[in-house]
Amino acid sequence: MRIHLASVFVDDQSKALHFYTEVLGFVKKHDVPLGGEDRWLTVVSPEDPEGTELLLEPSDHRAVGPYKRALVEDGIPATSFAVDDVPAEFRRLRELGVHFTQEPREMGPVTTAVLDDTCGNLIQLVHSK
């Protein structure tokens, strides 16, 4: 068994697609209209295009708003992305205007940073020593 798909609820799929591809560097995998404005919209790592997909899921369901607000208020990331070097990625993204709620921090064997994805979520970047 392996993870095929994970999702993150986004306030605006077009804005999320821009942020996750043009800023973070993922690539679009699927973009299928579902009627109305919603799409089955996934991105993948360019390093593993057949790997786990991230679904940029519309946050229209009534439970999503309170859930997302509570996570952000408590500083809890919605998901975590592995990078080779958190401080280097922090500098790269900061130069692109990305807002971080936590600068790089060493915590034992891992280094983390937390960013705002502009679509209602906090995202953690992590690397292990």
At 42 the pLDDT is 98
CATH of the domain at 35: 3.10.180.10
**Would you say the pTM of this structure is higher than 0.85?**
yes
Judged against a pLDDT cut of 90, whether residue 35 lies above it is answered with no
Q: How far apart are CA 85 and CA 108, in angstroms?
A: 15
pLDDT bucket at 76, cuts 50 / 70 / 90 = very high
Whole domain around residue 37: which residue ranges? 5-128
Spatial separation of the C-alpha atoms in residues 116 and 122, rounded to whole Å = 5
How many domains does the chain divide into?
1
SS3 (DSSP) at 99: coil
